[in-house]
A = this chain, B = another copy of it.
Amino acid sequence: MTTSAPVATPDITRQLAKFAVEARWEDLPEPARAAARRTFGNAVALMVGSSRHPAVAAILGALDGLGMPAQASVLGRAERLGVVWAPLVNGVAAHVEDFDDTHLPTVVHPGAAVVPAALALGEWRGASGEDVLCAVAVGVEVALRVGLGLTPAHFDQGWHLTGTAGHVGAAAAAGRMLGLGVNELQTALALGATQAAGLTAALGTMVKSFHPGKAAADGVEAALLAQRGFTSAPTMIEGRRGLAAVASPAAEPDLMVDELGSRWELEANAFKPYACGIVSHAIIDAAIELREQATAEEIESVELTVHPVVLDVMGVLNPAAGLEAKFSAPHCFAVGLLDGTAGLEQYTDARVGAADAQALRARVRIKLDPAVAKGAAVAQVTTADGRRLHAEVPHATGSAERPMTDAQLRAKASALVEPILGEGSVDLIDLAFAADALDDLDALTAAARPTGTSG
């Protein structure tokens, strides 16, 4: 038996279940409530924005012959699916563009696994927005706590925490939405833990986004089973041959419950402003700053000084397709300067192939300097008329030091939603970022449906 260090706290699954059952929205600290609202709104916007992605189309195609009842909405589309299936599709959509939230200490993307579970059950049961947001808060917190206890060794071993910890978090949110008691919710967490899976070999493929989608769907299923009398062992997370011992060579399960309920990891959930690898975000910030001073036509050359890790990840110098461009530092700079943003539109095949982007990318040189911080960038621009421009970004937008403001996050959400919903997008953004005020989710799911379609 390979096992981790002995567990000092023997009832972690139980404590997490009690926390999930007993949390009350009005007792959450305001920063935690705000983080839950932002996590929900950001996830909703991504679901709508990615609702035409081929991964979403593949799943809907597969489900098409299965005689699905209309219980829960696929956001951004006319389809409504069974309450276990809608979370699968919405979870894939929320994550597939790598544009969602990130809890940096664990590298969990909690929104994609947790929000779809709470959303589907909330819609199905006519729950209030406050109940849904509280379930999101609880589910995210459980996912992050489980992640903290498993990682970094768990990640280093090759596990995708959004799939593993996400399974437990989604089960917590779903159990909360069904109003389970502590025993039943403990079983739901056990079912989540025993299904915790997701290999990082899947990174860069559709399967990466399948992990949170499946976590969300399995979480709903786990809560339904627990509600109907399915039973489990009580210590599936912390026990002998439980999740911590089996899936992490150096777990610290006590971190899962340390100050649980008083300190909220949820508050550290961060949001990506740009739809590409996080290490190039400072480059995009620098480009956006420089576009005030020079147009692309005026620029003769660009020198970006970054930490060597940036080129490891973002080293595609002349990308041929949209997905490649997400890993291209020159393209990131080019769209930042040309378009003033770096959303989904900036990483389409068409945008990557456009003449202006190609021309500007060709003028970018990258200089590596280990003295520059990993999340920082320095840009030097020389113009044709001999000016030398300079931008220095020590911390990128969306970093812990410089979180996205509410206005920035809503602008990101609007840009995601508008191509799908057109004029109706304003309504959806207003509803999604203040969802705790809603009597039920009907107005929100209706607003997320494209004009001319009906559920």
Contact = CB atoms under 8 A, between A and B. Distances in A.
Contacts of A68: 69
A59 B226 CA distance: 9
Contacts of A205: 231-233
Contacts of A305: none
A201 B235 contact: yes
Given A1-B157, A69-B67, A229 B61 contact: yes
Interface string A149-187: 000010011110001000000000000000000000000
B158 A199 contact: no
A23 interface: no
Interface string A1-19: 1110000000000000000
A66 B54 contact: no
A190 B205 CA distance: 11
Interface residues of A, number: 65
Contact of A230 (B59, B211, B221): B59
Interface in A188-215: 190-191, 193-207, 210-211, 214
A203 B239 CA distance: 12
A203 to B, nearest CB: 8
Given A62-B230, A207-B190, A228-B58, A236 B67 contact: no
A296 interface: no
Contacts of A231: 205-207
Interface stretch (A240-248, A355-363, A376-384): A240-248
A194 B202 contact: yes
A79 to B, nearest CB: 14
A201 B157 contact: no
A83 interface: yes
Given A59-B225, A194-B201, A202-B233, 18 more contacts: A1-B156, A2-B153, A3-B158, A58-B225, A58-B229, A62-B225, A62-B227, A158-B242, A158-B245, A191-B210, A195-B198, A195-B214, A201-B241, A201-B242, A202-B236, A204-B233, A207-B231, A210-B230
